[in-house]
């Protein structure tokens, strides 16, 4: 599908001609008997997501007026899309099951929403609002679920009210495997017409749980596309689901989980079809069987890896004393992380900021996954790590300046997260280096700006080491060979003034290749 979408209007025109020819053929001949032998009945085939494993799967949250009306602490709304990025393995198709753990202890819980999915049809950067719809290939239905694995896990930390913790707690449980059903089809926008007048239904075992309309949207498709394309290029096959239009989070009855009953979820949007998925529950013993099937396979050698092999990019936050203090967070032995997009990584030796504004620079250590990991245990991860990378992140505050105060903590913090999604702003090496635990324990890290030392740190400053972060992610999400995980900034970021053309940034981490980056004129 991605390859077809990359053909653009020419591909759509050719497909339209093929459809017209087929319709005429059926009308003018005994076409039904011919077509019956040419394909398969829909009930006999398995429908994958319209775009399998999308590299960008953005879920907008809090995008319905009802969401704000139901929270007394929301006094005004910043019309900035708030979104989480899902990992490539979270998407499933029509008829595939959502897999839940059946816990003997605390109830993890599960909820779901029907949401309008937007599929991008052509590449674009800095897309004007008035042109945004020309970049849309079509629409689909998304069943956006939240699995409570991480809520239970993060509950062990106690109450953390800082924005980073709120987002980590609130969004990691949307990134478990099989957490996002997409389908059943891609319906081209000419077949849909006006996307803000479609009825939306959610059902559980045939019973209607909610009814809404896509008109109940705060930030529309056009503004969403314009906003995200302002800092990263959108590509054919990217998927954005626009948030719940009605009740936010329709719960699944706990008794169904305890009793192991089959639960049928239906998400329907007018003109787009009905997306049907079941919920299945696995005992811990069954999880162990699944672990044997999926936990470690598809190994990769260090010399085979380059940034093009990174399907997913994960960033850890507030993972040292200094970075937690800078972010206004408490330190925590449980890692706080969010999924980013792999296009934010670059091996370039130069970087051109979008604006002549202050830049914030940090030095980080990243880990590369060598074997696919699912339901990981820290004790068994040493041979799953391919190696380590030096990483320099360069961000600015231009997105933060768009937020009008007073704002919710999440509204204030989201632009800081988006700044790390900007194309190529996380510069690293194209060579991964295997390191022993002793070498990591002795690693020192130096960051220089125009020859002046601005940061002196060490790997041991990390509160959560590589194995801790991987174990936490693998608690509910699959990591694939080649994926990159940043362990986070080692210190508070260094600041470069707005006139930064020609500035050179150097990072030296013992045992890893040196990085040297030149800033170009915006």
What confidence score (pLDDT) does residue 32 get?
62
Please indicate whether residue 384 or residue 31 has the higher confidence score (pLDDT): 384
Listed range (129-143, 172-186, 434-448) with the worst mean pLDDT: 172-186
What is the structure's pLDDT at 293? 45
pLDDT of residue 62: 87
User: Is residue 100 predicted with pLDDT exceeding 60?
Assistant: yes
DSSP symbols for 258-299 = HHT--EEEEEEETTTEEEEEEEEEE-HHHHHHHHHHHSS-S-
* pLDDT higher than threshold 70 for residue 97: yes
Work out the average pLDDT over 88-100.
88
- Mean pLDDT across 213-238: 97
Q: Is residue 45 pLDDT above 70, yes or no?
A: yes
Which has more pLDDT, 8 or 264?
Answer: 264
Cα 93 to the center of its chain, rounded Å: 17
**Can you give the three-state secondary structure of 164-223, one letter per residue?**
HHHHHHHHHHHCCCCCEEEEEEEEEHHHHCCCCCCEEEEEECCEEEEEEECCCCCCCHHH
Average pLDDT over all residues of the chain:
87
How much is the pTM? 0.92
Q: Which element (helix H / strand E) includes 366?
A: strand 359-369
Which residue from 252, 291, 238 is spatially nearest to 127, judged by alpha carbons? 238
Output the CA–CA distances (angstroms, integers) from residue 35 to 20, 27, 30, 31, 38, in the order listed.
15, 12, 9, 6, 5
pLDDT number for residue 363: 98
Crossing angle, helix 31-38 and helix 8-28, to 10 degrees? 130
pLDDT given for residue 76 in this prediction:
72
Quick one: how far is CA 113 from the chain centroid? 17
Task: State the burial class of residue 380 (Cβ atoms within 10 Å of its Cβ: 0-12, 13-18, 19+).
Answer: middle
Read off the pLDDT band of 278 (50, 70, 90): very high
DSSP class of residue 253?
P
- Predicted confidence band of residue 296 (pLDDT cuts 50, 70, 90): very low
pLDDT of the residue at 285: 55
pLDDT recorded at residue 462: 98
The residue that leads in pLDDT, 44 or 226, is 226
pLDDT digits (tens, 9 = 90+) for 350-388: 888 777 789 999 999 999 999 888 776 777 787 889 999
- The reported pLDDT for the residue numbered 19 is 82
- 50-54, 330-334, 351-355: which range is least confident on average? 351-355
CA 94 to mean position of chain CA atoms: 20
Among 97-111, 259-273, 314-328, the range of highest mean pLDDT: 314-328
pLDDT in tens, 481-499: 999 999 999 999 999 988 8
């Amino acid at each position: 599908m991605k390859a077809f979408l990359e053909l653009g209007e020419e591909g759509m025109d050719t497909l339209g001609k093929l459809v017209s020819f087929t319709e005429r053929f059926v009308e003018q001949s005994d076409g039904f008997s011919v077509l019956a032998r040419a394909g398969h009945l829909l009930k006999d085939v398995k429908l994958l997501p319209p775009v399998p494993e999308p590299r960008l799967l953005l879920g907008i949250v809090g995008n319905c007026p009802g969401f704000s009306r139901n929270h007394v602490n929301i006094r005004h709304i910043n019309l900035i899309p708030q979104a989480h990025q899902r990992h490539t393995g979270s998407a499933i198709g029509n008829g595939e099951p959502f897999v839940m753990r059946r816990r003997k202890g605390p109830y993890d819980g599960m909820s779901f929403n029907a949401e309008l999915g937007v599929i991008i049809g052509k590449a674009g950067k800095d897309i004007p609002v008035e042109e945004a719809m020309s970049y849309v290939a079509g629409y689909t239905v998304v069943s956006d679920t939240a699995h409570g694995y991480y809520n239970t896990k993060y509950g062990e930390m106690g109450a953390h009210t800082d924005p980073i913790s709120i987002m980590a707690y609130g969004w990691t449980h949307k990134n478990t495997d099989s957490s996002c059903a997409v389908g059943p089809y891609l319906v081209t926008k000419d077949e849909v017409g006006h996307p803000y007048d479609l009825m939306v239904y959610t059902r559980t075992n045939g019973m209607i749980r909610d009814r809404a309309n896509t008109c109940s949207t705060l930030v529309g498709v056009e503004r969403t596309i314009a906003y995200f394309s302002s800092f990263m290029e959108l590509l054919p096959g990217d998927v954005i689901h626009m948030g719940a239009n009605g009740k936010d989070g329709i719960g699944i009855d706990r008794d169904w989980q305890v009793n192991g009953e089959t639960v049928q979820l239906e998400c329907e949007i007018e003109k787009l079809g009905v997306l049907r998925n079941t919920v299945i529950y696995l005992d811990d013993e069954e999880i162990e069987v699944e672990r044997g099937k999926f936990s470690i396979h598809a190994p990769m050698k260090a010399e085979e890896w380059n940034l093009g092999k990174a399907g997913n990019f994960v960033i850890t936050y507030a993972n040292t004393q200094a970075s937690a203090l800078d972010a206004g967070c408490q330190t925590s032995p449980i890692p706080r992380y969010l999924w980013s997009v792999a296009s934010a990584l670059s091996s370039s030796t130069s970087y051109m900021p979008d604006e002549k504004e202050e830049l914030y620079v940090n030095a980080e250590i990243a880990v590369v996954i060598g074997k696919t990991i699912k339901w990981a245990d820290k004790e068994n991860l040493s041979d799953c790590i391919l190696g380590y990378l030096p990483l320099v992140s360069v961000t600015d505050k231009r997105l933060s300046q768009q937020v009008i105060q007073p704002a919710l903590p999440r509204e204030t913090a989201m632009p800081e997260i988006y700044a790390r999604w900007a194309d190529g702003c996380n510069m690293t090496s194209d060579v991964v280096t295997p390191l022993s635990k002793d070498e990591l324990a002795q690693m020192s890290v130096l960051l220089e700006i125009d020859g002046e030392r601005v940061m002196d740190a060490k790997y041991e400053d990390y509160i959560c080491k590589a194995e801790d972060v991987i174990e936490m992610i693998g608690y509910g999400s699959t990591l694939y060979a080649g994926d990159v995980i940043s362990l986070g900034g080692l210190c508070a970021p260094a600041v470069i003034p707005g006139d930064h053309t020609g500035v050179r940034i150097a990072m030296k981490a013992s045992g890893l290749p040196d990085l040297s980056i030149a800033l170009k004129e915006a």
